[in-house]
Amino acid sequence: MGMEELKGKLRPGDLFCSSLGQVLGFLINVVQQHRSSDNEATFSHAGIVETSEGGIIEACWHVERSNLFEKYTSGDLLVARYVKMDSTHFQAGMDKIRKHLGQLYPVHRFLLYLLGVAKYIHWDRIVCSELVSKFLVGAGARHNWYGVMPDDLADEFRNYRIYEVIYDSTCEGE
């Protein structure tokens, strides 16, 4: 399935992981590989699908709204769905993250991730993967959100039965 086919399959509450092709994405993956239990890191960014048309919420320089199909046309992409996601779970997840909309990206947290203390020190400022994780806490799929990295989420989406992978560009052609 390509990106065109994905357009008709998205639902509010779907989740995505992507690879940032920039220096920032490379640096995030270096830290993730160092901290990861499997020593691998493909995905350096994560976000939440808000609308079936591809509207997303993500933490870039701000926690902001964008469009998956306009912004992520190249690079690796994984889209997954919490199997219990419905309008009630979606609303509960949104309620949990609403206060972060418009919040500036906490660049200082990179150092906390590098030192391995991001799960303990946060000051209620979140990076992209913590935004997704906090949404999932509200939706009832997770218990924690501090210190979660994008590739941690990708591993969970692929390996935990509470998620269904909708699209994974890294598996195309297999």
pLDDT single digits (tens) 79-128: 999 999 999 999 999 999 999 999 998 888 878 877 888 888 878 889 99
Q: Which residue has the tokens 């919420």?
A: 57
Amino acid letter for position 107:
V
Domains delineated in the chain: 3-171 (3.90.1720.10)
pTM greater than 0.95? no
* 104 bridge partner residues: 62
* pLDDT tens for each residue of 44-86: 899 999 999 999 999 988 999 999 999 888 878 999 999 999 9
Taking the C-alpha atoms of residue 142 and residue 102, their distance in angstroms, rounded to an integer, is 24
Cβ neighbours, 10 Å, residue 164: 13
Quote the tokens at residue 54.
Answer: 């591809």
Q: Which helix (H) or strand (E) holds 70?
A: helix 68-71
Rg of the chain over CA atoms, in angstroms? Answer: 15
∠ Cα 72 48 130 (to 5°):
110
